[in-house]
């Protein structure tokens, strides 16, 4: 057992160092939802110097499409057969997931939401990010360190911590797995498959403009096969219900414009301000900004939030695991069972089906 713990320690140390070594700087696939704006017909709401200045409107459709696909990509993978590690069992592994996104898709507003809503490459001339990502990745790569621990009564808990490549985002969460029927090896019951149900949650960190959490509820059926008395091969299939919670913080739809400077800021509308008449602007003291350039006051209206999204999706899962002594390997494929728009058309979600391919390697004992 001491040798096993040395393997676990080395394995975990390598994974943690790899994650910690990442830079916290912005990256090409970092979401920038403040680019999701709509201008009123015939107007350019980014023209803050215009005499007829109008406020931008949040593009909630583009926001919903990107959050739906990003939420799918970070969803709990349910990457396990129905059988648990057993009472006192423990597993530590590295998981690599490759989630397809509709990188070039357009929503109903005509916006390519992954092109518009991600940072893009740095312009070598001014060392600044471009205003659009011309070549967004079509596959999001998520690398995760996972630990699973068996408990009594067929229960198993798991923790996960990882990051999304080409972004400054990290992903964390936990799972609970209950094997309703497992472990029968002889007699008639030995022909029955293992059956389990469970759930998990994953949330994104490192984003200042939104909160994104995906909950997954799953059921699994698997059947282990012993090979040469020393290895176990376990195929499994499952069904998973995903619920994606996306909430926006306050975003500035004209991030390159300073509204205070643009309006000729003269302080707040409070008593004692020499630029405020007795009785306050408009007959009351509101505490709001006092502007010299009245036509530019509207730029304050470009601070807004996107609509709260609660997105529902179904996906099927099929996988295979291989265990030899303490070595544990696995592969899994998951895919939408229906178009994302089938349950989320009211939010404007219109992207095509997604799939995720995952691989896992670790130790289990």
Half-sphere exposure of 348 (CA within 13 A, CB side): 19
Closest by CA position to 364, among listed 150, 97, 142: 150
d(CA 261, CA 237): 59
Sign of the torsion angle spanned by Cα atoms 22, 23, 28, 31:
positive
Give the distance, in angstroms, between the CA of residue 296 and the centroid of all CA atoms in the same chain: 36
Torsion of CA 29, 31, 32, 34, to 10 degrees: 150
Half-sphere exposure of 203 (CA within 13 A, CB side): 9
β-pairing, 90-100 vs 355-364, is antiparallel
Q: What is the pLDDT of residue 128?
A: 66
pTM as predicted? 0.86
**218 with 237: CB under 8 angstroms?**
no
d(CA 349, CA 361): 35
**236 with 94: CB under 8 angstroms?**
no
Tens digit of pLDDT per residue, the chain (365 long)?
444 544 444 444 444 444 444 444 578 999 999 999 998 876 788 776 655 567 889 999 999 999 999 999 999 999 999 999 988 899 999 999 999 999 999 999 999 999 999 998 877 676 666 788 999 999 999 999 999 999 998 999 999 999 999 999 999 999 999 998 766 556 676 678 899 999 999 999 999 999 999 999 999 999 999 888 789 999 999 999 999 999 999 998 888 777 777 777 788 878 878 878 777 776 788 777 777 776 555 677 788 999 999 999 999 999 999 999 999 999 999 999 999 999 999 999 999 999 999 999 999 88
β-pairing, 210-222 vs 231-248, is antiparallel
Q: What is the pLDDT of residue 8?
A: 46
d(CA 102, CA 66): 9
d(CA 309, CA 311): 6
DSSP-assigned letter for residue 335: E
Q: What is the pLDDT of residue 48?
A: 67
Q: What is the pLDDT of residue 25?
A: 59
Q: What is the pLDDT of residue 190?
A: 67
**334 with 71: CB under 8 angstroms?**
no
- Residue-range domains of the chain with CATH: 2-45+53-122+130-249+305-364 (2.40.128), 259-297 (no CATH)
β partners of residue 243? 215, 312
Q: What is the pLDDT of residue 18?
A: 47
178-to-51, 85, 123, 131, 183 alpha-carbon distances in Å: 64, 11, 51, 47, 13
Q: What is the pLDDT of residue 186?
A: 62
> Which stretches of 40-173 are DSSP H helices?
60-73, 113-116
Please tell me whether residue 337 adopts helix, strand or coil conformation. coil
């Amino acid at each position: 057992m001491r040798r096993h713990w040395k393997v676990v320690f080395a394995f975990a140390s390598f994974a943690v160092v790899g994650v910690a070594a990442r830079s916290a700087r912005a990256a090409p696939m970092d979401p920038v939802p403040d680019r999701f704006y709509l201008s009123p017909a015939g107007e350019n709401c980014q023209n803050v110097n215009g005499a007829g200045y109008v406020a931008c409107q949040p593009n909630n459709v583009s926001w919903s499409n990107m959050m739906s696909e990003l939420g799918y990509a970070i969803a709990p993978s349910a990457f396990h057969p129905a059988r648990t590690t057993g009472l006192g069992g423990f597993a530590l592994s590295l998981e690599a997931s490759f989630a397809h996104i509709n990188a070039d898709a357009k929503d109903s507003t005509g916006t390519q939401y992954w092109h518009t809503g991600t940072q893009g490459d740095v312009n070598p001339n001014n060392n600044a990010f471009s205003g659009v990502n011309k070549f967004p990745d079509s596959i999001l790569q998520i690398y995760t360190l996972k630990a699973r621990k068996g408990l009594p009564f067929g229960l198993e808990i798991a923790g996960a911590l990882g990051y999304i490549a080409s972004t400054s985002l990290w992903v964390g969460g936990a799972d609970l797995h209950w094997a309703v029927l497992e472990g029968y090896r002889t007699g008639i019951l030995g022909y029955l498959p293992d059956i389990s149900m469970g759930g998990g949650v994953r949330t994104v960190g490192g984003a200042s403009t939104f909160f994104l959490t995906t909950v997954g509820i799953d059921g699994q059926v698997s059947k282990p096969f012993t090979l040469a008395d020393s290895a176990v091969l376990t195929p499994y299939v499952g069904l998973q219900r995903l619920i994606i919670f996306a909430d926006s913080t306050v975003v500035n739809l004209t991030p390159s414009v300073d509204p205070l400077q643009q309006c000729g800021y003269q302080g707040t509308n409070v008593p004692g301000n020499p630029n405020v008449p007795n009785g306050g602007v408009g007959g009351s003291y509101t505490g709001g900004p006092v502007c010299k350039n009245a036509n530019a006051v509207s730029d304050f209206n470009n601070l807004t939030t996107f609509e709260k999204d609660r997105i529902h999706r179904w996906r099927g899962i099929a996988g295979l695991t291989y265990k030899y002594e303490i070595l544990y390997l696995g592969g899994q494929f998951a895919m939408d069972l229906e178009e994302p728009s089938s349950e989320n058309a009211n939010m404007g979600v219109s992207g095509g089906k997604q799939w995720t391919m995952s691989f896992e390697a670790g130790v289990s004992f």
